[in-house]
Structure formats: C-alpha cells, structure tokens
C-alpha cells in the first residue's frame, strides 16, 4: 500500500498507542506510526503515518505544534496537570490584572530551558521518568532547550466552579519536546502562585490542522463501510512547506535507487523533496561527509529496478 496520513482527533482517556492500534484495525494494516505522543487526557490533532508514510515519522516529529488550553492558578500537582495529586495550594484571593498575566506569558516566549516533569516518558539511565515517579524515587532530570514561538491569552481570566482557582485560557505554538504542563507551572511561578495545566487541546501538528481531523466515531463508521482509506491525506500534504523539485524519468531512476547527487545542480535546502509526475519520490539532505553533495534521507518510492 502507498499509504498517507490519517488526521485523527484524539479523544481524552486513550493513549497515542491506543490510537495506533485502532488505526491498524480501521485500515487493516500493521504499518501505522504516530508522530509524537499526546498525554492520555490531552485531546486534538494526532497525525498517524500509514504505509510508506511511516518513513516520515522522524521528520514529522520534528515539526512545530500548536495548542489551546487552560492554566489553573491556585494549586500544583505531582503531574503538573489535573490528573495528579495536589502538592501545594495558595488560593488566589483577588483577580490578577490581565496586564500582569500577559507579561508573565510574554516572558516565557523565545528560547527556554525546560526540565521534564517526573511524570513524563523521558528516559534517564534506561528508565522512563514516570517509572521512577511511580516508585516514589527522585532522579536528576536533564534540562532541554525548546522554542516557544508564541504564548498568549485567548480570553479573560475566570474563576473555577469551586472558586479556588483562577483560570487562564491560552494558546501556544512551540517546538517539539515542549512540555506545556511545565509552561503552566512556570506561568504560576511568575505570578506568585502554584499552578497546573487544567485542559489542553492540540490544534496543529506536522502541518495537520484540527478542522481536518476525523473523530474515532467517524473512523469507526468509515471502516464499517470499507471506506477508511478515504480519510488519508496525501504524503505531500505534510511535506508541502519543504522545497520541492520535479525531475524527469532518467533523474527519477537515479534518485529512487539512492544516488548521491551534486548539490549545486538542485535548489539549496536543508530538506529537498524530489517529485516525479508531481508525486514525492524521495527527500534528500546535505551529505554529512561529502562536501557539496546531497544524499537520500527518506525514500518514498520503490526503487526503479525493484518495480513490478
């Protein structure tokens, strides 16, 4: 199968791996991979690569993401979100000026160093942090650099139903590896209150937007009608912002057989998508050892001498 990208709207309460298993059932193939884990309670865009598109997983995982959510000021939790146990409380007695909130959010834009939450899948000494956390063990966590492209309020702050928390609706666009939970905690720190992430919805990932996504119920229906493949986006949809270059039959044969090429003969790009008959056949990158040359990074077409 050629495959494509299944734009799934992940519901709350299921893991990203659960979604992969569902997609394998819908599409009747084992060739399915996701492009970045979403926490079980986080909803929204989860692009799933199907068939030959699974080769794109490492590239698409590097793409930026966007979210909308709510920060709860007034308590901190073990997991930095609403699923954890409360470990600190400080009730917000009065409304905080919107200008102060905006200043705190603005201070968290740009290049940041983040320490991953203990309840996360980051590995330290061969074990995931959440495994240490469940055993009650603490371990030194390496910081990581992330980029916050934008972070701002999307509405006026409001009180929670129990009136114990001041809720801040926000949106964020960020690089891979960003823990939005940690951004919520850091926002609280800047405002002088413990905080946690209350809700989170991913609105964009790997070039896929929320309004393009199918729900689990919609996919169940399509699968029951043997129409699940109608949901797939083309491979080129998620590659459209990369530099493309159309080649002729002779060049396509060389490329699909993995030839190393002279860079000066093609457009300069960190990633160059070669197409033939307007279809992506390979992605090339600068050669790490041969100056002035480019080499295959991802092969998207069957080698010419293997075609049947």
Q: What is the pLDDT of residue 302?
A: 66
Share of the chain above pLDDT 70, in %: 97
Bridge partners of residue 170, in order along the sequence: 69, 153
Same domain, 257 and 288: yes
Query: What rounded mean pLDDT belongs to the chain?
Result: 92
Same domain, 70 and 198: yes
Residue 109 has pLDDT above 80, yes or no: yes
Q: What is the CATH number of the domain that holds 156?
A: 3.30.2350.10
Residue 45 has pLDDT above 90, yes or no: yes
Higher pLDDT, 273 or 125: 273
Per-residue pLDDT at 305: 53
Residues 85-96 have a mean pLDDT of 92
Closest of 291, 288, 307, 286 to residue 276, by C-alpha: 307
At 17, is the pLDDT very low, low, confident or very high (cuts 50, 70, 90)?
Answer: very high
CATH code of 290's domain: 2.30.130.10
148 and 76 assigned to the same domain: yes
**Positions marked catalytic:** 39
The DSSP code sequence of 109-141 is: -EEEEEPPPSSS--EETTEEHHHHHHTT-----
Strands of 206-264, DSSP E: 208-209, 243-246, 261-262
Measured CA to CA, the distance from residue 89 to residue 67 in angstroms comes to: 26
| pTM: predicted TM-score of the whole model, two decimal places | 0.89
Q: Which one of 202, 229, 262 terminates a domain?
A: 202
Q: According to the model, what pLDDT value does residue 196 have?
A: 97
**Are 7 and 53 a contacting pair, CB within 8 Å?**
no
Residue 221: domain span = 3-63+206-237
Considering the domain architecture, whether residues 86 and 187 belong to the same structural domain is answered as yes
The verdict on 148 and 77 lying in the same domain is yes
Q: Does residue 27 sit in the same domain as residue 101?
A: no
Beta bridge partners of 86: 77
pLDDT at 306: 47
Per-residue pLDDT at 95 exceeds 70: yes
User: Does residue 48 share a domain with residue 156?
Assistant: no
User: Are 72 and 171 contained in the same domain?
Assistant: yes
| pLDDT recorded at residue 138 | 79
- Coil, strand or helix at 210: helix
Backbone angles phi, psi at 245, to 5 degrees: -150, 120
Mean pLDDT across 271-293? 95
Last residue of one domain, picked from the residues 237, 260, 288: 237
Mean per-residue pLDDT for 141-150? 91
Cα separations in angstroms, 170 against 64, 72, 151, 176 = 17, 11, 7, 18
**H/E run at residue 146:** strand 144-153
Average pLDDT, integer, range 137-155: 91
158 and 227 share one domain: no
**Residues 93 and 17 occupy one common structural domain:** no
Q: Are residue 227 and residue 301 in the same domain, yes or no? A: no
**Segment (H or E) for 77:** strand 75-77
| Contacts with 182 (C-beta within 8 Å, 6 or more apart), sequence order | 80, 114, 115, 116, 117
Average pLDDT over residues 57-71: 94
- Kindly report the number of other CB atoms within 10 A of residue 30's CB atom: 8
| Beta carbons of 205 and 36 less than 8 angstroms apart | yes
φ, ψ of residue 261 to 5 degrees: the values are: -120, 160
Please state the domain count of the chain: 3
Residue 194 and residue 108 share a domain: yes
């Amino acid at each position: 199968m050629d495959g494509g990208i299944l734009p799934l709207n992940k519901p709350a309460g299921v893991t990203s791996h659960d979604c992969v298993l569902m997609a394998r059932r819908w599409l009747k193939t084992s060739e399915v991979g996701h492009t970045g884990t979403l926490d079980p309670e986080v909803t929204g865009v989860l692009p799933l690569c199907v068939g030959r598109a699974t080769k794109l997983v490492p590239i698409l995982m590097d793409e930026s993401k966007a979210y909308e959510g709510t920060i709860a000021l007034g308590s901190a939790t073990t997991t930095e979100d609403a699923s954890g146990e409360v470990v600190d409380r400080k009730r917000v007695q009065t409304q905080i000026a919107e200008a102060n909130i905006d200043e705190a959010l603005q201070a968290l834009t740009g290049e940041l160093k983040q320490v991953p939450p203990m309840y996360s899948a980051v590995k330290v000494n061969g074990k995931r942090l959440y495994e240490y956390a469940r055993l009650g063990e603490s371990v030194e966590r390496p910081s990581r650099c992330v980029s916050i492209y934008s972070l701002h309020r999307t509405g006026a702050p409001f009180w929670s139903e129990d009136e114990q928390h001041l809720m801040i609706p926000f949106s964020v666009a960020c690089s891979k590896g960003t823990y939005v939970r940690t951004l919520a905690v850091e926002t609280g720190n800047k405002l002088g209150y413990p905080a946690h992430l209350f809700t989170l919805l991913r609105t964009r990932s790997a070039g896929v937007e929320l309004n393009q996504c199918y729900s689990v119920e919609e996919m169940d229906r399509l699968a029951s009608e043997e129409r699940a493949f109608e949901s797939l986006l083309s491979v080129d949809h998620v590659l459209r912002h990369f530099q493309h270059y159309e080649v002729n039959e002779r060049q396509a044969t060389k490329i699909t057989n993995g030839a190393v090429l002279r860079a000066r003969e093609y457009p300069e790009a960190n990633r160059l998508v070669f197409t033939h008959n307007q279809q992506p056949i390979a992605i090339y990158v600068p050669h790490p050892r041969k100056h002035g040359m480019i080499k295959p990074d991802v092969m998207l077409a069957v080698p010419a001498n293997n075609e049947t």
